[in-house]
Amino acid sequence: MRFGSSLHLRRVPAWTESYVDYNRLKALVDAEGLLPELGEAIRFELRIVDRFLVLYNKQIETQFLALQQRWGIRIGHRVLHDCQGVSCTELQDIKVSLLEIADHIAKSESYFRVNQDAVSRILDKAAIKYTNAEVTDIDANFKHPRKGRSALLEVNVTLQHVQEALQKTAEANGESPSRSLLLEQQSGLDRFPHRFLPDILRCLHNDDAEKLEQALSQHFPDSSEVRQPALVCLVQVAIVYGSSSCQMKLLKSLRSNSVKQHSLAPPDYLQRIIQRLSRADPPLDSSSAMTSFGQILKLLHPTQLDLLHNRDGMGRFPLHYAALSGFDGVCREIISTMQGSASVIQMSKLCLSPDKFNLTPLDYAVQRGYAAVVALLLEVCETPDCLGNPQSTGMTDLLNTAIASRSLDVARLLIQKGWGVRFVGKFGNTVLHTVAEQGLADLVRDIVALGVDVDARERVRGWTAITIASVQGHHAVVEALIQSGARAEIPDYRRWLAKDHAAYRGHMKVVEAIKSNGSSKLYSKSHQRLGAVNILPERSASESVIFIHLGTLDLWKGTTPSVDIAPYKRRTSPLQVHDTSLELSISLAGSDQKKTVLLPYLLENSDRPWCFTTNEPHNAAVVLKVSNLADKTSIGTGVALVGSLTASLGSKRDTLIRDYNVPLVSDKFGHVGSVVITVVIARPYNGAYSPPRTSQILALEKSSRLGGHRAGNGQNARSGSLQIGENTIKSFLTAKELGADVVELDVQLTKDNVPVIYHDFLVAEKGSDAPVHTLTYKQFMAISDAQTSSTWHEEPRKRLPWDERKRPLALRNTRRMSLCAPLDSATDALTDHMKNTLNYPGYKPNLRHHSIHEPFITLEELFCGLPEDIPLDIKLNEKVTEMYPEYPMLYEAADFQMDNYATEINVFLDTILSVTYARAGNRRIIFTSFSPEICMVLAVKQQVYPILFLNDSSNWPTGDMRATSLQTAMRLAHRFGLHGVAMSSEPFVHSPGTVGLARGQGLYTASYGPLNDEGASVEIQTKAGVDLIIVNKVKLMRQFVDGAKP
């Protein structure tokens, strides 16, 4: 998925409006605007990010301060705090609090990183349109310093100290604590007789309420003025210790809320109780938490119930913490208790009261997806005299946040109450746009019913909800929007329709759902210097190119992380290492070639591998190093010996699984993680014959040319007429006679490296699912020889060599041999054998009985047997032969249940090129392939013949992200200097403007597929300007092509 299309998946939903508006900046790059306008827009977006980070950094500082005030520790101080005698429970509580702060810091770092990458991506795009020097002048720096890394370092310093103290305490074999950091900080030792403090702590540690009462009665009698402050402090300790009996005893003894007059302890112990319940291990469910908290409320003196109104150091009420934890039962207890002592207006205000982070209990419940809590709070806010009107409180973004978080239950509750349906983002996007982006079809009807404009356009690109759903490929949303009255005919600001976006991106189900026509003309990005995107490195004639992708390109493997340092994190726990602090360097040992990227790598790099050049690819070593930029340390290093990755298969075989998991190791911790890379090696051409001196030029055609698909004789199982066997000399000559300008054929290699003309990966005629590369040339030709009619005059009982069945002698009838074989023939034996193979179609397109069988041929025989020059129309002077080097992709091997190996890719191409250079002469040739690797390696090996990338437009499930759409095909063509794309014709037929889009970028366009056997589809493509239309029914489609020409 492209960076912009997947950006919403990387955002924190509640912060959506505070991110850089990538789409706005991208629209400015694509438009006719001037560079200064783009620069000003970037600075405007960066100011938004800066303001947000300033506020969020203050929130983190507030959390630091609250923790320091509670425990008396200095976060980040490098002098070890004296923790001798402190309880493990207290230390563990400090540790958990630090880890929560670390999570918030990591969240801010992720936010910063997404915005940083968005701006970087925009500048890269601008550099293609303008010059690097012009783009460098843009001030794209954040004005405020980045504090996340330094804050995380401070947290880690304190975490290290706490962990060391925990280990020492554990080594003390569970001795009772003699000190309490909490008491020392909140009360001061002058409030407690020091000689009795260990005894009191021992009672709390052992949860011995009876002895605690005795100690308190002795040293803090009822008449003592410090009794109540002491009880408040001890309740805090009892909460941390989880001493329920002591806690109950202390709470019963509390009599007034005069804490501020008599103690330094903050009146926030209800907040601490809820926090302690949320940290229980194992976690408590809402019912259990409600029971525990309800018991505590019952024990409080009526004068203490005002504590439900008190804020803690972060400005939070107990209700904030209950909502944060998802404890709807606790929320209900709080609400019911307060409703008995306060007015409804006060209660509703409490539900919508912000803390120091400007977040209300309802905000927390919505953001975390706690539907039960949201339902309860909405019920309170729904009362007639409630001042919490959603439009007046500034909380109109709640529904948008719930939708962006994919919290369906929460979103439905808000929709039912009408909260947030009028939301409009800073650039005109509505909640319906967010629904379309997230693919939540179930919400469409309810939102439209509340009056949200189904055709509203956001202001940046003019996209409606149906446009966004089409871009994302959410066909269910598209269908729901159409049923709700959405119009797919509304163009965006570039005059693209929703159907155009879907066709361009390969979302064929969306294309089928939209019945209106696509655009006849689409506009490409203006002033784009396409040559700037070619990534092939400069190299000498003897150098190989090693292509390395970070991660896997196999879509079936899901979201496997490209870089995994989980073992390192386990070994250094509890120290926190956030992914945004990591850097990966990839270099080639012994050279100065090095690539460095920040992690996590958010850019979609399927068409942008790193390229390394070397004269010795078999000895090349790729060095991978992961570093922590926060503390400038190396985490681990891995080395991949490129030459040995596939060595087990031999020099002439290659695995189709090209992603490799490289382990990372360090001197200190051993195995610390792994990096997944995908490797392809492109070696220089190594064949017996030299390439021609001149390169062929593939110019865009002035009118469409017609190609014969495997000679274009309309092969199919239901044909009522006799057909000529495909991929044969006879079929190619016949295609020319029927009107083909181009013939298409398929080339594969046998086990002994003979290029043969054959389409299917599996040779079913062998009676097994045998790939061509597992058969020798003689074994392959035996199938053809067994069907040759001339042999039957000599051997009337001809049958397959491996067929042991006894059959009666068939009478010869030489007159019938020109049409079909005798019923008892080798052909029948072949057919019987094929019935047991995978996906048996009932026929083979060069099988006797079904067609006029012609001998199988080699590539060399094709060049020698097919005329080099064939007269054509005046506009088309030379014959073109289009060749598909048939090389399986990994997902195709899985589909055909093949072994995951094939002929080594360089051997495969060198063998075909050698025959081509030797025998092609002046023949016009185009190489095309479905395999991106074939196109990449072929582009390195030769520049004589044009190369087209074949793409199925997602009509068939693909396991390679590069083979999913016209968009990905065009990008890959530009990246590797290919001459064009050959698409399954659906995008060209349904959105004819995509043809001009590709041609406008200098790409030659070809099409194939079942729609090309329909006259109307061929006519549409001819009028749109497709350069080459490959068909089965050459004679019939010739008429439509000629009739549609201007």
Confidence of residue 799 (pLDDT cuts 50, 70, 90): low
Backbone angles phi, psi at 960, to 5 degrees: -120, 120
Q: Is 439 helix (H, G, I), strand (E, B) or coil?
A: coil
DSSP 452-519: --TT---TTT---HHHHHHHHT-HHHHHHHHHTT--TT---TTS--HHHHHHHTT-HHHHHH--S---
Q: Is 583 helix (H, G, I), strand (E, B) or coil?
A: strand
CA distance 535 to 541: 17
Region 925-954 average pLDDT: 91
Nearest C-alpha neighbor of 907 from the set 620, 689, 653: 653
Confidence of residue 193 (pLDDT cuts 50, 70, 90): low
Region 14-33 average pLDDT: 88
Cβ-based neighbours of 977, under 8 Å, separated by 6 or more = 534, 536, 939
State the pLDDT at residue 727.
73
Whether residue 983 contacts residue 969, with contact meaning beta carbons closer than 8 Å, is answered with yes
Architecture of domain 536-682: Sandwich (2.60)
Region 241-246 average pLDDT: 88
Average pLDDT over the chain, rounded to whole?
A: 83
Tell me the pLDDT tens digit for each residue of 404-434.
Answer: 999 999 999 999 998 999 999 988 999 999 9
Percent of the chain with pLDDT over 90: 46
Whether residue 35 contacts residue 146, with contact meaning beta carbons closer than 8 Å, is answered with no
Confidence of residue 360 (pLDDT cuts 50, 70, 90): very high
Backbone angles phi, psi at 610, to 5 degrees: -80, 140
Confidence of residue 1004 (pLDDT cuts 50, 70, 90): very high
Most confident of 177-191, 232-246, 884-898: 232-246
What does R_g of the chain's alpha carbons equal in angstroms? Answer: 37
Within 577-632, strands assigned E span 582-588, 594-598, 610-614, 621-628
In this model, does residue 797 exceed pLDDT 70?
A: no
What number of CA atoms fall less than 13 Å from residue 415's CA on the CB side? 23
For the ranges 379-383, 994-998, 1029-1033, which has the lowest average pLDDT? 379-383
Place of tokens 């210097």: 529
Confidence of residue 887 (pLDDT cuts 50, 70, 90): low
State the pLDDT at residue 325.
95
Backbone angles phi, psi at 929, to 5 degrees: -160, 145
The number of helix segments (H) and strand segments (E) in the chain equals 40, 24
Confidence of residue 77 (pLDDT cuts 50, 70, 90): confident
Higher pLDDT, 1021 or 607: 1021
Architecture of domain 267-393: Alpha Horseshoe (1.25)
Q: Which fold has domain 705-761+855-1044?
A: TIM Barrel (3.20.20)
Backbone angles phi, psi at 176, to 5 degrees: -65, 145
State the pLDDT at residue 1021.
97
In this model, does residue 845 exceed pLDDT 50?
A: yes
Which element (helix H / strand E) includes 983? strand 980-984
Q: Which residues pair with 677 in a beta bridge?
A: 550, 660
In this model, does residue 117 exceed pLDDT 80?
A: yes
In this model, does residue 487 exceed pLDDT 80?
A: yes
State the pLDDT at residue 798.
46
Say if residue 146 is exposed, middle or buried (CB neighbours under 10 Å; 0-12, 13-18, 19+): middle
- Residue 258 DSSP one-character state: -
In this model, does residue 388 exceed pLDDT 70?
A: no
Domain boundaries, the chain: 3-168, 176-265, 267-393, 424-528, 536-682, 705-761+855-1044
For residue 299, give Cα distances in angstroms to 225, 260, 320.
22, 21, 22
Say if residue 114 is exposed, middle or buried (CB neighbours under 10 Å; 0-12, 13-18, 19+): buried
Kind of pairing between the strands at 544-550 and 610-614 = antiparallel
For the ranges 161-175, 186-200, 626-640, which has the lowest average pLDDT? 186-200
**Helix locations, 631-747, DSSP H:** 729-738
What number of CA atoms fall less than 13 Å from residue 604's CA on the CB side? 16
Kind of pairing between the strands at 670-682 and 659-666 = antiparallel
Backbone angles phi, psi at 506, to 5 degrees: 80, 25
Q: How far is CA 811 from the centre of its chain?
A: 65
For the ranges 260-269, 692-701, 761-770, which has the lowest average pLDDT? 260-269
State the pLDDT at residue 640.
94
Crossing angle for the helix pair 197-206 and 227-241, to the nearest 10 degrees: 40
Say if residue 309 is exposed, middle or buried (CB neighbours under 10 Å; 0-12, 13-18, 19+): middle
For residue 616, give Cα distances in angstroms to 621, 653, 911.
10, 19, 21
Same CATH topology for 267-393 and 424-528?
yes
State the pLDDT at residue 387.
43
- Residue 709 DSSP one-character state: G
Whether residue 122 contacts residue 29, with contact meaning beta carbons closer than 8 Å, is answered with yes
Q: Which two tokens stand for residue 970?
A: 């065009």
End-to-end CA distance of the chain: 39
For residue 931, give Cα distances in angstroms to 148, 493, 905, 937.
43, 35, 11, 10
Whether residue 537 contacts residue 1021, with contact meaning beta carbons closer than 8 Å, is answered with no
CA distance 347 to 385: 11
Higher pLDDT, 195 or 867: 867
**Helix locations, 286-360, DSSP H:** 286-299, 318-325, 328-339, 344-351
Whether residue 577 contacts residue 564, with contact meaning beta carbons closer than 8 Å, is answered with no
State the pLDDT at residue 909.
94
Confidence of residue 502 (pLDDT cuts 50, 70, 90): very high
| Greatest C-alpha distance within the chain | 127
State the pLDDT at residue 449.
93
For the ranges 441-445, 594-598, 734-738, which has the lowest average pLDDT? 734-738
Backbone angles phi, psi at 1034, to 5 degrees: -65, -50
pTM for this model (two decimals): 0.87
State the pLDDT at residue 829.
64
Q: Is 372 helix (H, G, I), strand (E, B) or coil?
A: helix
Whether residue 738 contacts residue 728, with contact meaning beta carbons closer than 8 Å, is answered with no
Confidence of residue 291 (pLDDT cuts 50, 70, 90): very high
Tell me the pLDDT tens digit for each residue of 60-69.
Answer: 999 999 888 8
CA distance 148 to 160: 18
State the pLDDT at residue 897.
56
Dihedral angle sign, alpha carbons of residues 963, 969, 972, 973: positive
Higher pLDDT, 952 or 804: 952
Tell me the pLDDT tens digit for each residue of 733-779.
Answer: 888 888 888 888 888 899 999 999 887 767 766 666 778 888 898 98
Confidence of residue 506 (pLDDT cuts 50, 70, 90): very high
Torsion of CA 165, 169, 172, 173, to 10 degrees: -150
CA distance 791 to 802: 17
CA distance 165 to 741: 82
Region 1013-1027 average pLDDT: 96
State the pLDDT at residue 168.
84
Region 179-188 average pLDDT: 75
Confidence of residue 901 (pLDDT cuts 50, 70, 90): confident
State the pLDDT at residue 817.
43
State the pLDDT at residue 217.
84
For the ranges 588-602, 673-687, 766-780, 921-935, which has the lowest average pLDDT? 766-780
CA distance 774 to 761: 10
For the ranges 54-63, 131-140, 589-598, which has the lowest average pLDDT? 131-140
Q: Is 260 helix (H, G, I), strand (E, B) or coil?
A: helix
In this model, does residue 843 exceed pLDDT 70?
A: no
In this model, does residue 732 exceed pLDDT 80?
A: yes
Q: Which two tokens stand for residue 563?
A: 């870089």
State the pLDDT at residue 673.
96
Q: Is 922 helix (H, G, I), strand (E, B) or coil?
A: coil
Region 1001-1014 average pLDDT: 94
Tell me the pLDDT tens digit for each residue of 305-358.
Answer: 788 888 888 899 999 999 999 999 999 999 988 877 654 456 778 888 999 999
State the pLDDT at residue 438.
96
Which element (helix H / strand E) includes 706? strand 705-708
Is the previous residue joined to 845 through a cis bond, with omega within 30 degrees of 0?
no
State the pLDDT at residue 892.
52
In this model, does residue 380 exceed pLDDT 60?
A: yes
The CATH class given to the 424-528 domain equals mainly alpha
Whether residue 999 contacts residue 966, with contact meaning beta carbons closer than 8 Å, is answered with no
Higher pLDDT, 136 or 991: 991
